[in-house]
Structure 1
Amino acid sequence: MCAGCRHCLLLRARLRVTPHFWPSIHPVWRRCSSVEYCPVCSLLAPCHPGASTPTKCEPILDRTLRAAQVNLTVSCRPDRPAGISDRMTRMLAKPDSFDALPLPETSLRGLFRHFGPGMILMMTGVGTSHLLTAPAAGGRFEFALLWCIPVAYIFKYYGFEMAFRFTNATGRSMLDAYTTAPGKWPVWYVLVTTLIQAALGQAGRLAAAAAVLFYVFSEVLGLELSTYGLALGGLSVGIILYGRYAAVELATKMLAGLLFVSTVGVYLFRPAPLSEMGHFFTFEVPGGSWLIIAAFLGLLPTGMDVSLQASEWGKAKRVGMGRIREQLEQEGYARPFDPFASTKSDLTVDVSTLPEHAQEYCRRWFRIGLWDFSFGHVVSAVLAAIFLLLAAVWLYPSPVEGRAVIGEIAGIFPPAMRVVFLAGAFAATFSTAFNYFDGWPRVVAACCRNLFRTTAALPGIAVHQLTEAHRGTWSSEYNVYRLTMVYSLAAAVLIIAGLPRPVFLVLVSSALAFFIAPVIFFLNLYYCFTVIPKTDRVFYPSRFATWFSWFSLVVFTGLTVVVIIARIYQPLVEMLGG
């Protein structure tokens, strides 16, 4: 091998490669070094003639040329060239293991089997917001608030979508990105608000699920609402701790099917008149409707903070970039991420440097993730509209409140349809409480993983990540996750016992979610646009997505300000003035 070849392989070479040969250079050298066109470039670009005769050597598998089914053997002297680390030598000698990645099936059957985080996100919202907030809007104000549904779903779409996009593009969760902010303030912000929601918000969700059983069994068993809440909460926690993410995904799909069939069946029994559908496009604010509007915009399809849960669920599913991120870091395709030392640039993965098979693997799972989310988003919007229309047709005028709210709605149907409605109602409310028992503790654990070194030293919740140290150390991410789950259950049951008004609980927790949503919305957009490479045509948002997402943030923030003025500022001024 000539001396020029050795210089071509130096990691810290000072020369620059010519554009003609750039695409053919091994991705490891493309990232770590740079060379100039010289007579030995045949080692890097097979189109250039004239390589020196090698002495005893070791083969190096060129990943770029493997994609084109061309095998290239690069030879070097037995003594490793200066500047090449042992780790780099092992990387070059190691066969490409990414070809073993199974490409997911994209048929309709395959898509549904692969759906997960998007369905969980849908069923997390299709519960109290649909079964209590939507009927409250229809029962009190008839069709006047139908416009809230398209506004909430359209202008919140990219706030959620960016969380899915980020996780699929980086293999990391949104909270990993939040931790790179100065002082980690977004992580502290999320931790505090999530601990509040895990108690107050979960009380509203659990009360709604318990209300279904309270209506069905109250005359026979005579138990309190809080007793049903404790039973359902204990069942949820037991299932989740036993089955982890897989149990959440399976339960979600089963409950989603039951909910959709029962809801559509009940609606077709007596649909709303077509003449009232114009209210979807007519802006109207009846007197006394601001709290419901805030609840609608805050919790349809669900609170924006749930996008952080969806990001953690996407990571837990371990497919696409989430599956290979650790391997990419080990083999030098991505930088290792340290929550206490890394910057947001360390989250970036340049997908163009990956082997072609790995690129296709990540692209397919990204498309599946977007279809998963979009499908759930549309179904959730349809169900929200159906529940509001049902209440407007059957209940108006009615206050729709108190612990008997489920019975009030169920009582409007004949016995046969009542059973169908109650089945769907239980599927909706229980799925919400069930998913939140996993989602909020998962977010709290992720926050602690990025805030405290003792938790970061023992990361992971999945079974394959756990060791005796994870189980025996109270500050491990796994134990923080479990302790938060117990805290959420205990706090929710105590709140239900002391304040047995599920509609009020849901409206208040929904309004809280609405007030913190613009901050989460902004952070999701910011990190997507600053971490994902702009040259990445697959993962980086399109021009339309870019402009409309920022416009949506402006509109959504404006609505937040209006609600704050109407619900907090004006009453405060009137109270002080009085």
Structure 2
Amino acid sequence: MALGISTLSRIMDSKLSHFSKTAGPGILFACTAIGVSHLVQSTRAGADYGLLILGFVVVVTLLKYPFFEYGSRYANSTQTSIIDGYKKLGKPALWLYFFITIASMFFVTGAVGFVTAGFFENLFGLDFLGEWTIIILFAVCVGILGIGKYHVLDSLIKIIAIVLLVSTVSAFLLSLYNGPIEPVAGFEPKDLWGVSGIFFLLALMGWMPTAVDLSSWNSLWTLERMKQTNYKPKLKETLFEFRLAYLITGILAIMFVTLGAFIFYGSGHELPNNNALFANEIVSLYTKTIGDWSYLIITASAFTVMFGTIIAVFDGYSRSLQRTIELIFTKKEEKIHTKFRTLYVVFLLVIATGSLVVIFQFGNNLKELVDFATVLSFIIAPIIAVFNFRLVTGKFLNKESQPSGILRILSFAGIIFLSGFAMIFLIMKFYS
């Protein structure tokens, strides 16, 4: 009996050790997703349309899943990023990915940075820095990544993310216990099937749980984690870590929609368009249900998660651009660390500058900037979805590494779903 317990203990210790070496890419993905799509878009969805929109959140999260997982699957199976795979599909595919990245990165980074600045101002009670808040924030991000100190923040993010996770679950359970608010007299719900409602639905789905083109980051982070730990996990270990993180992001999205619906829907209160005021409303959402004592904890946690998101966005775009440029303009593998670091830092500066221009162009209009970035991501999604599906179901992976039949069916459904709604948007935009 004792021998059996000892054996079981060794097996558990081994599994935990392997998981600790594998864990990282999924956590980065979750932190990236929990940012704007959850704190902003999911809360807005519940506040404006109630629980009616919950079904779309669940469906789009499910149908997008395969294309994110394929990034991790491809990296583990081939020991190369899925961006390398795009080159195998042909140079035009790689160039298309490059143009898609260039077209979206300033708007995506700008939207995330704008929201993060709002939580920063809310945390420290600042109302006088204005645009300098975002400039300072971007400078700090570029500085941290430029000198290679992201691993320090990464460790801190994991702790703060747990705090926000516990806080969100607590607020969700308490809101269920208290029930939804009573609608004010004369309350008229917004029409989800009107033009503005459908546009918002597309914006919500564009980043739920995040943009599909960011699936390439999963593969880059998976490879980076292997280098850090000098451990090559089995395919099932890599997929388990990612699936766990993805499941958590899906559950949290449902919670944020519910919180928005139970606390704001029917109140007659419109969530503010100013980024700092919006951040204050989000924090108030927690304190209304958990208690005023939690204000500072929630404020710090929300900002830190958003800060982790913006740094992950800077890192992801810079890494993907660096790898894309290498693949386009070099005929054979060239891995020169100094060359990589210089190019990486250059892209950090380019992304920061371009994103600031976008933010200044949109002014203080939080919703318009976020909606534009998220709708753009939704239009791009079908292209990347097809690329990823082809790479994991064709000749590029061995049979043992390819997805199951159920996942293939889900992929077909996802491609049809994403393509259909993208066409609806383009038709509505053309005729409106």
Residue in 1 that maps onto 2:118: 211
1:258 Cα deviation after fit: 2.7
Aligned AA for 1:503?
K
Q: TM-score, normalised by structure 2?
A: 0.85
Matched, 1:520 2:392: no
Whole-Å Cα distance in 2 between the matches of residues 291 and 426 of structure 1?
28
Residue in 1 that maps onto 2:66: 158
Whole-Å Cα distance in 1 between the matches of residues 381 and 173 of structure 2?
34
- Worse-superposed segment, 104-113 or 128-137: 104-113
Matched, 1:199 2:106: yes
1:206 Cα deviation after fit: 0.7
Residue in 1 that maps onto 2:186: none
Alignment of 1:80-229 (within 5 A): 106-108=14-16, 110-112=18-20, 114-182=22-90, 184-218=91-125, 222-224=128-130, 226-229=131-134
1:150 Cα deviation after fit: 0.8
Matched, 1:402 2:284: no
Specify whether residues 245 and 211 from structure 1 end up closer, same or farther in structure 2 by C-alpha distance, changes over 3 A only: closer
Aligned with 1:480 (options 343, 356, 362): 343
Aligned with 2:207 (options 284, 290, 299): 299
Whole-Å Cα distance in 1 between the matches of residues 398 and 44 of structure 2?
44
Residue in 2 that maps onto 1:505: 369
After TM superposition, what 4+ stretches of structure 1 lie above 4 angstroms from structure 2?
A: 103-106, 272-276
1:272 Cα deviation after fit: 6.8
Whole-Å Cα distance in 2 between the matches of residues 139 and 275 of structure 1?
11
Aligned with 2:241 (options 355, 365, 372): 372
- Worse-superposed segment, 481-490 or 263-272: 263-272
Residue in 2 that maps onto 1:243: 148
Matched, 1:382 2:242: no
1:263 Cα deviation after fit: 1.7
Matched, 1:433 2:310: yes
Alignment of 1:319-334 (within 5 A): none
Aligned AA for 2:407?
A
The question of whether the paired residues in 1 share the 8 Å contact of 2:123 and 2:300 is answered with no
Counting helix residues as a fraction of each chain, which structure ranks higher?
2
Structure 2 unaligned blocks of 5 or more:
1-10, 182-190
Residue in 1 that maps onto 2:422: 560
Aligned AA for 1:569?
F
The question of whether the paired residues in 1 share the 8 Å contact of 2:105 and 2:317 is answered with yes
Whole-Å Cα distance in 2 between the matches of residues 104 and 120 of structure 1?
25
- Worse-superposed segment, 290-299 or 420-429: 420-429
Residue in 2 that maps onto 1:544: 406
Residue in 2 that maps onto 1:265: 170
Whole-Å Cα distance in 1 between the matches of residues 112 and 379 of structure 2?
19
Whole-Å Cα distance in 2 between the matches of residues 551 and 569 of structure 1?
26
1:242 Cα deviation after fit: 2.6
Whole-Å Cα distance in 2 between the matches of residues 550 and 177 of structure 1?
20
The question of whether the paired residues in 2 share the 8 Å contact of 1:152 and 1:296 is answered with no
Residue in 2 that maps onto 1:51: none
Structure 1 unaligned blocks of 5 or more:
1-102, 277-283, 324-360, 460-464, 471-475, 572-578
Aligned AA for 1:513?
S
Q: CA RMSD in A?
A: 2.8
SS of the counterpart of 2:211?
A: coil
1:207 Cα deviation after fit: 0.9
The question of whether the paired residues in 2 share the 8 Å contact of 1:272 and 1:389 is answered with no
SS of the counterpart of 2:176?
A: coil
Q: TM-score, normalised by structure 1?
A: 0.64
Identity of aligned residues (%): 22
1:452 Cα deviation after fit: 0.8
Instruction: Please tell me whether Structure 1 or Structure 2 has the larger radius of gyration of its CA atoms.
Output: 1
Residue in 2 that maps onto 1:233: 138
The question of whether the paired residues in 1 share the 8 Å contact of 2:212 and 2:377 is answered with yes
1:533 Cα deviation after fit: 4.6
1:395 Cα deviation after fit: 1.8
Whole-Å Cα distance in 2 between the matches of residues 230 and 416 of structure 1?
32
Whole-Å Cα distance in 2 between the matches of residues 380 and 420 of structure 1?
21
Whole-Å Cα distance in 2 between the matches of residues 104 and 496 of structure 1?
49
Whole-Å Cα distance in 2 between the matches of residues 181 and 104 of structure 1?
41
Residue in 2 that maps onto 1:529: 393
SS of the counterpart of 1:127?
A: helix
Whole-Å Cα distance in 2 between the matches of residues 253 and 113 of structure 1?
15
Specify whether residues 160 and 402 from structure 1 end up closer, same or farther in structure 2 by C-alpha distance, changes over 3 A only: same
CA deviation map 1:45-101 (0-9, x unaligned): xxxxxxxxxxxxxxxxxxxxxxxxxxxxxxxxxxxxxxxxxxxxxxxxxxxxxxxxx
1:105 Cα deviation after fit: 6.3
SS of the counterpart of 2:147?
A: helix
Aligned AA for 2:282?
I
1:319 Cα deviation after fit: 5.6
The number of residue pairs the alignment matches comes to 403
The question of whether the paired residues in 1 share the 8 Å contact of 2:78 and 2:397 is answered with no
